[in-house]
Amino acid sequence: MIFCKRCHETIMVSEFLRESGHSSVALTGRMKQIERKESLNKFITSEVEVLVATDVAS
């Protein structure tokens, strides 16, 4: 799990990780509630290796 200060940083880090061959999802407060739940569930069920989040996940 990686925490970032800003929403755009979260998205950039998640994209960088995916481009580098790691499975990752972003989780930010700007996402709809259902999208946040889906991202968190993918991390919990080990569908993705890394969750990149703003403080919304803390």
For the chain, list the domains and their CATH numbers: 2-57 (3.40.50.300)
Burial 19-55 (b: 16+ CB within 10 A, else e): eeeeebbbbbeebeeeebeebbebbeeeebebbbbbe
Do 54 and 7 meet the contact criterion of CB atoms below 8 Å apart?
A: yes
Q: What is the pLDDT of residue 56?
A: 75
At residue 52, the 3 state secondary structure works out as strand
- Confidence class for position 25, pLDDT limits 50, 70, 90: very high
This prediction has a pTM of: 0.88
Helix (H, G, I), strand (E, B) or coil at 13: helix
pLDDT at 43 over 90: yes
- Whether residue 52 contacts residue 2, with contact meaning beta carbons closer than 8 Å, is answered with yes
Overall average pLDDT of the 6-30 stretch: 97
